[in-house]
Structure 1
Amino acid sequence: MRVVMFGYQTWGHRTLQALLDSGHDVVLAVTHPQSDHAYEKIWSDSVAELAEAHGVPVVLRNRPDDELLLTLKEVEPDLIVANNWRTWIPPEIFTLPRHGILNVHDSLLPAYAGFSPLIWALINGEKEVGVTAHMMNAELDAGDIVVQRAVPVGPADTATDLFHRTVDLIAPIVAEALDLIASGRTDWTPQDRTKASFFHKRSIEDSNIDWNWPAEDIERLVRAQSDPYPNAFTHYRGERVRILKASVSRGVYGGTPGRVFIREGDGIVIVAGAEARRGRSHGLVIERVRTEDGTDLPAGEVFRTMGGYLSRHP
């Protein structure tokens, strides 16, 4: 088959490599220009550089336009394969190839369509995550499923751990999906749209800790914002403090959410949860932090005295 690839960052890079290894004819790679967005500067292996190294023509676009449509008509693809393409692809493009567009998405669709699915899934305590290859239609991440694979989420897993596990699924999933499509199969599995969920892009504000959340949820947020992602953060005495390691307290603590309360184990307990005043909630034990100057410290070296509050604003 003649294949065009749409993609960006490491997800697109892995997908393009899988296409190059497949034996199919990769006739064009379409990717985004480099971005200064915090979440687009990490996992940033270059699709353009990989394509150029293999003699594949490259088109840089933030979104499809008429010129790109003409180029696609000229190269006459049998299939477009997309992964981490960040903007809408119009019907005149996804209906152009005779096999349509195969989109690769790092969630177990229909859940967690949209952006940053691994981070959102970890925050929400999902027991597994994965990758789905599906045929694109007019609704984002909603087309029929061709191949889907899942991996478990462990109790100490970070978003970084889940990234590495799921990105390793891309090559075998793309290879299997290409074989199925090339064989003439079209009996794909429709998504159950009653189970669909759609998430927005994450921004820095989404990492700002809300101490009204239960400690269990905040602990997952910390793991979901592991390096190299922008870390979960809070404010203490007018300064931003990033939380690198935390756990749920053994003890149950009452009071006002955000209160710097007591030492426990290797960390400092912060009162957490909207119902904390009732004295039935666990706190968050902060164990390691990063200060604004980039210094990593045990929490006890920052929260030297008990009392005072952590808050969402300086």
Structure 2
Amino acid sequence: MTKPVRIRDIAEACGVSLGAVSRALKGQPGLREETRLRIISVAEQQGYDFSRLRSDKLKRVLFLLHRQHNISRALPFYSQLLLGIENLCREQGIALSFLSIGPGDAVSEQVMLHQPDALICAGFFEPELLALLAQMKLPLVLVDLWAPGLPCVNPDNTQGGYLATRHLIDQGRTRIAFLASTLAHYSIRQREKGYRQALYEARLLMPPEYEAIAPPLLDTERSLSEAIDELLNLPEPPDAIFAYNDAAAMVVLRVCAQRGLRVPQDIAVVGFDDIESAAWSLPPLTTIAVDKQLLGREALKLLLDEKQEGNYLLPVKLVVRAS
């Protein structure tokens, strides 16, 4: 029977102290980055069982959000998700902290300042940034995101896109556009998939220009406005728009109001997420409801699960309002 690799074995191979190995494996501060990476590399080569680091109860969890997210636009969704995580952390005696990061940051140094036992990444992250986080060998769960080999929890985005588009079809709309800020985000691609599925079942074929992807500008709202203007300036503009989230749908409502278009009489609009402001927009927004606090709680439950594997989908539902 092969003897398990000990911290002492790694320390001897690296020529460092036992404490340095312990800090490196646990993602704790106090080491130069190259030293930490060298220790982890040797541990991997020797076959160290990183799951042993999970033998102790989690005490600190770090919630990570990509700096790319416009915080003022993202918080109506992610603040509720964060509350769901915090409520369960409180019940479990776990401390929760928050960090916004981007690919240009000294990621491991910023993370280690929080001395977390585990990480939850929410929303969009580049594969390269996820790889840097995975190198830290801390338990890691994704929420509102998917990546190969990593455990995650998501709303059923495909079903949501299908329900939104099916609703517009049932309302008699035949020129249905899809509006997105980008297709780089997993959840948006899944929502587009549901949109396409509903159109296919209804035997409706939309022109390619009806899939409006906002141009890459720093100001997301301005970018979305330009994409909406392009849709509405088409020789045969859409009679309905499915927006990838509620914040984008409310930009559609504003642009339509500026043009004198009546919603839903002239054009119907459906969003996604059911953020609080969707109910009191003018007109109130029809949307796909996501239980954001449950999404957060399920992400933490997955983190606490010893197996920590799989892609878990949470159900969504259509909320019909005046739009």
TM-score of the two chains, using structure 2 as the length reference? 0.34
Larger RCO, structures 1/2 (Cα 8 Å, 6+ apart): 2
Higher helix share: 2
Higher strand share: 1
